[in-house]
Structure 1
Amino acid sequence: MSQRPAIAAVLDGLVDMHVHSGPSPFPRRFDHVEAAQDGARIGMRAMVAKSHHHNTQMDVLAMKGRLADVAATVFGGIALNSTVGGLNVHAVRMCLRMGGKVVWFPTISSGRHIDCHPEDGAFPTTTVPLTLERIDIVDSSGALKPEAGEILDEIKEQGAVVNGGHMYPEYIRTLFQEAKERGIKRMVVSHPDFVIGADPALCRELIELGAFVEHEVGMYDPEGTQKWDPKQLANWIEQLGPEHIVLASDFGQKANPKPVDAWLRVGEALLDLGVPEKDLRRMVRDNPSYLLNLDA
């Protein structure tokens, strides 16, 4: 009987596209450099630092000296919430042309997120008082706003990733339909069963448009704040296929474990549930490497 390699070896070369390291108005347990350094435990190749409030590519550039000796490459991005001016093509243009890789359409400013968390952006409580404004990507007739189209054109030009944020599923579909028409090939919908509420059938529609479905291992970590059953994640993988799925941590919050620890625990759980090693590698390494165009 062959012996399974240690989970760290299976995860070697992992790319985490959803790390909530700091700085941030939300409490974070470490900064982007410390997150990347810790990734060495599993041979992490790259990570994307995400903030709901600001352009993280500027953080990454400011930390360039400290990152020089870190094996993992760190990228930034921008989430189109009210703290960056919402659907602000100028902010997107600066982020991507300075090296950012991901544009998240509204997350905590989306109508869907506010429906689920009406406490004015306190998700969790911010360290400083902030205001939040709802940002919608469609007009009163349901058509995509022109500024959203401008942003998609910039994403296309820079070869970046468009992420559906925390929006209503039908808004994400409208966005991805337009993205496909404009020739964008790198699209991601995050945690469809958390906040967003996209079932497998709708996810298949998004996959047909060219999207990857991102699931967050942090939600399935028994040491985290949510503790979902990994069987649910294995079921999603079986229904949609590993070729269409990206796994990410969505960790870095002060109240949660380090992302690497979640990767080790949940990765092992998925293997125990029968997910083949090659499929796990595809979801944590190959698919996100394609999205970030790391092998170009």
Structure 2
Amino acid sequence: KIVWMPTSKGRDQRSNETSTDELKVTDATNHLLSETVDVIDIIAGQDMVLASGHLSPHETIKLFEEAKTRGVQRMIATHPYDVATYPEMELIASTGAYIEFTFLSCMPTKQTMSPRIMSEQILRLGVEKCLVTTDFGQWTNPPPAEGMRMAVAALLDSGMSVDNVATLVKHNPKKIIN
């Protein structure tokens, strides 16, 4: 039901490496590749969900704008806060995409934000435009189910309401999948 654009080989993921085997969705002039448009059309035709993977903010915006015009109804920006500015996240959300926040970013192995900062950013963007996942599965982290329990507890501890947390981990994901 969900199609992810490139992750470990995406432009954003490869930006600090010299490898030439990155998977691209845009050409040298920043236009979407015809293959990318073909994938968008398949996603729209099959009523699937489009997830950005580890694309740059610019690529994500371009991808989602095109996907919206081609009939894709559900989109997820895969934890863009790692590389996107707040205005870029607002622009991504304006395409109708959900902004994914992952609890992995709050773990000691990654620690790019605290649960309090995560809560603040979610509330600023709008709970109805966001979702929270774990992005767990690595051997250095607890199992995903335990990670979700930890995420819920951390969000509640940061002052987020029970209703908002339920929207982030239950209601919005259900809207995306159904």
**Alignment check: 8 A CA contact 2:7 2:53 kept:** yes
**Alignment check: 8 A CA contact 1:191 1:216 kept:** yes
Structure 1 position 262, deviation (Å): 1.9
Aligned to 1:112: 12
1:20-35 to structure 2, matched below 5 A, reads none
Matched, 1:287 2:172: yes
The CA distance in 2 between the partners of 1:267 and 1:140, in whole Å, is 42
The CA distance in 2 between the partners of 1:270 and 1:208, in whole Å, is 24
> Residue type matched to 1:201 in 2?
P
Q: 1:181 aligns with which of 45, 57, 69?
A: 69
The CA distance in 1 between the partners of 2:29 and 2:14, in whole Å, is 21
Count of matched residue pairs: 177
Structure 1 position 148, deviation (Å): 0.7
The CA distance in 2 between the partners of 1:220 and 1:262, in whole Å, is 11
The CA distance in 1 between the partners of 2:102 and 2:109, in whole Å, is 13
The CA distance in 1 between the partners of 2:104 and 2:12, in whole Å, is 21
TM-score normalised to structure 2 length: 0.93
The CA distance in 1 between the partners of 2:18 and 2:115, in whole Å, is 29
TM-score normalised to structure 1 length: 0.57
**Alignment check: 8 A CA contact 1:213 1:246 kept:** yes
Q: 1:161 aligns with which of 35, 49, 56?
A: 49
Aligned to 1:267: 152
Q: 2:95 aligns with which of 209, 218, 237?
A: 209
Give a deviation string over 1:34-93, Cα, whole Å, max 9, x none.
xxxxxxxxxxxxxxxxxxxxxxxxxxxxxxxxxxxxxxxxxxxxxxxxxxxxxxxxxxxx
**Bigger relative CO (Cα 8 Å, ≥ 6 apart):** 1
The CA distance in 1 between the partners of 2:79 and 2:139, in whole Å, is 20
The CA distance in 1 between the partners of 2:165 and 2:139, in whole Å, is 27
| Structure with larger Rg | 1
> Residue type matched to 1:260 in 2?
A
Give a deviation string over 1:79-122, Cα, whole Å, max 9, x none.
xxxxxxxxxxxxxxxxxxxxxx1111111111210124x386xx
Higher helix share goes to which structure?
Answer: 2
Q: 1:236 aligns with which of 121, 146, 161?
A: 121
RMSD of aligned Cα (Å) = 1.6
Sequence identity percentage? 29
Q: What SS class does the counterpart of residue 50 from structure 2 fall into?
A: strand
Aligned to 1:220: 106
The CA distance in 2 between the partners of 1:218 and 1:230, in whole Å, is 10
Q: What SS class does the counterpart of residue 204 from structure 1 fall into?
A: helix
Matched, 1:248 2:133: yes
Aligned to 1:50: none
